[in-house]
Amino acid sequence: MGDGMATKREIRMLTGNEAAAQAVRLCRPSVIAAYPITPQSELVEELAKFAAEGLIDAEMVEVEGEHSAMSVLIGASAAGARTFTATSGQGLAYMYEPYFAASTQRLPIVMAIANREMLNPSIVAAGEQDFVTLKDGGWVIIVVENCQELLDSLIMAYRLAEDSEIQLPVNICYDGYYLSHLSDRVEIPTQEDVDVFLSPTQKYERPKVDPDKPLICVSFAPGTLMAEYRYKHCAAHERAKSKIDEIDGELFAHFGRSYGGQIEEYRTEDAEVILVTMGSRSGTAKVVVDRKRDEGLNIGLVKIRSLRPFPHERLIKALEGKKAIGVIDRSVCFGRNCGHLFVDVKASLADVAAPIAMVNFIDGLGGGDITIEHIERAVDITYQAARGEPHKKVTWLALE
Amino acid sequence: MKFQTEYEAAWASVEEIILLKTSDWRYQRPVTKSEKCCQCGSCYLYCPSGSVIEEGNYFTANLDYCKGCGICAKVCPSNAIMMVREKRE
């Protein structure tokens, strides 16, 4: 370990919800407003317990629903508070209106989303349909693979959100049950080390509601100003790309852990075929990549960590010159009849000189397992595409 | 790229809002005959936009905010206020 790197740590078995609660405690938010919903409930319970035990010095606001939770945080964040909330599925849907209000007012709110399917059928299981449906709501959206990455990403989220150059709210998304409820080995950094890591936020500046220096928050504006705000919002997303990579580098310098920033590349250098994944299924897909490598196939994996801003430039760099790309989705883009990630990846690859064969796989809906066997079939189909053989563009791995 | 504000989102200084004139769609304006005004303050009380100001010994409207609704002229007991059609500049 290098100089200045954290040496003290606590290692525990934690569920994703518990790991997220530990991260929130270490970031010292001053206002938390959250409404419990499966599979996120345990996170809210843990935070309430921390508050009762005096382990966090945050105002815990009991709200009557998610719309109120986000509205409370909009007010608190506008007044300069560090804020946190968490939700899932239908709770996120109920938050739709203030979700946009938070991002378009450029408030650095951090929200964890334990991914859950949208109705119907009535189901509380994992699925990405909730947050991918809101990917164009102006927030930064980071998707994590395991409980350690969840804890670290929440700490990184405050650095990104509050940066004077960024001023954007950040979602940290983790698969319901697969991460929220299953236990994983997690290193919990010390409070002192996290304080040092977050210390740059003390000098960050942003407009705040302050009686001594009155400002109008959510001012009425003519259409020309609206265009200006949207342009600046997009520019902030553009700046966030390199900032996500930078903060990941700083995490490595402080704690010895790195996730690659906007994307993680796994055995991609000499690969001809690449799988593109997001979230906890990336772990299973890495196992498949290792197995196929042992069989002699030149295959690699790209894990999308930052769904918004979309890592266009880094993705092109990682995928250019490959023979075929297989994108594994855990959501359905109705009307386009494929997955959401596939649409985004395909849009980016339109900018490469030589066309790359692209295939899509939909799996794991309603909490279904995205198994090694499923992903091996996905690899076979992607290789058919690589060889130019007839193949299906979109394969529903649980159905066919 | 030309920007109108230093802010990234819908924030504004209080001064900017005070400077914002909200009366540009008025088609008629109140004109007070100061010698007829008995300073009863009815126009001040009834004005729905709070645009009436006291000018020494009579009341008149702040034309930056007055929308020209004519309620002041209607309620004036001394008929001191006349509504006059605005002319396009």
* Each residue's pLDDT tens digit, A353-371: 899 999 999 999 999 999 9
Superfamily (CATH H level) for A9-255 = Thiamin diphosphate (ThDP)-binding fold, Pyr/PP domains (3.40.50.970)
Nearest CA in chain B to A236: B8
Contact B9 A224 (CB under 8 A): no
Which residues in B lie closer than 8 A to residue A204 (C-beta atoms)? none
pLDDT at A269 over 50: yes
| Mean pLDDT calculated for residue range A57-81 | 97
DSSP secondary structure of B31-68: EE-TTT-----HHHHH-TT--EEEETTEEEE-TTT---
pLDDT at A3 over 60: no
pLDDT at A351 over 90: no
Question: Which member of A207, A224, A236 has the closest CB to residue B7?
Answer: A207
Question: Which member of A207, A233, A236 has the closest CB to residue B11?
Answer: A207
| pLDDT tens-place string over residues A133-156 | 999 999 999 999 999 999 999 999
Quote the tokens at residue A198.
Answer: 């977050």
pLDDT at B19: 65
| Mean pLDDT calculated for residue range A60-82 | 97
pLDDT at A329 over 50: yes
pLDDT at A263: 98
Contact B12 A219 (CB under 8 A): yes
pLDDT at A13 over 80: yes
Chain A nearest-CA distance from B12, in A, is 5
Q: CB-based contact (8 Å) between B5 and chain A?
A: yes
- Phi first, then psi, for residue A184 (nearest 5°) are -145, 155
pLDDT at B88: 75
What radius of gyration do chain B's Cα atoms show?
A: 16
pLDDT at A1: 44
* Cβ atoms of residues A356 and A346 within 8 Å: no
Q: Which domains does chain B have, with CATH numbers?
A: 23-85 (3.30.70.20)
Nearest alpha-carbon partner for A262 in A387, A141, A174: A141
Which residues in A lie closer than 8 A to residue B8 (C-beta atoms)? 106, 167, 207, 229, 232-233, 236
Confidence of residue A214 (pLDDT cuts 50, 70, 90): confident
Residue range(s) of every CATH 3.40.50.920 domain in chain A = 263-396
Size (chain B), residues: 89
Mutate to test the interface with B, among A165, A215, A234, A238 (most CBs of B within 10 A): A215
Provide the β-strand partners of residue A9.
A189
Give the C-alpha separation, A294 to A10, whole Å: 35
Q: CB-based contact (8 Å) between B18 and chain A?
A: no
A109-123, A128-142, A357-371, B14-28: the lowest-pLDDT one: B14-28
Estimate to the nearest angstrom the gap between the alpha carbon of A26 and the chain centroid. Answer: 19
Nearest alpha-carbon partner for A305 in A147, A142, A168: A142
pLDDT at B12: 86
Question: Which member of B3, B12, B14 has the closest CB to residue A228?
Answer: B3
Question: Which member of B4, B11, B12 has the closest CB to residue A224?
Answer: B4
**Higher confidence at residue A298 or residue B23?**
A298
Give the C-alpha separation, A142 to A162, whole Å: 16
| Mean pLDDT calculated for residue range B69-74 | 97
| Mean pLDDT calculated for residue range A259-285 | 97
Contact A216 B7 (CB under 8 A): no
pLDDT at A75: 97
- Phi first, then psi, for residue A168 (nearest 5°) are -130, 145
**Taken in order A185, A141, A262, A394, is the CA torsion positive or negative?**
positive
| Mean pLDDT calculated for residue range A366-392 | 97
Query: Percent of chain B, pLDDT > 90?
Result: 76
| Mean pLDDT calculated for residue range A98-107 | 98
| Mean pLDDT calculated for residue range A112-126 | 94
| Mean pLDDT calculated for residue range B32-58 | 95
pLDDT at A68 over 70: yes
Chain A nearest-CA distance from B88, in A, is 23
Chain B nearest-CA distance from A203, in A, is 18
**Higher confidence at residue A86 or residue B25?**
A86
User: Average model confidence (pLDDT) for chain A?
Assistant: 96
Question: Which member of B4, B9, B13 has the closest CB to residue A105?
Answer: B9
User: Per CATH, the architecture of A263-396 is what?
Assistant: 3-Layer(aba) Sandwich (3.40)
- Phi first, then psi, for residue B30 (nearest 5°) are -80, 135
Query: Percent of chain A, pLDDT > 70?
Result: 98
Q: CB-based contact (8 Å) between B1 and chain A?
A: yes
Residue range(s) of every CATH 3.40.50.970 domain in chain A = 9-255
Which residues in A lie closer than 8 A to residue B3 (C-beta atoms)? 228, 232
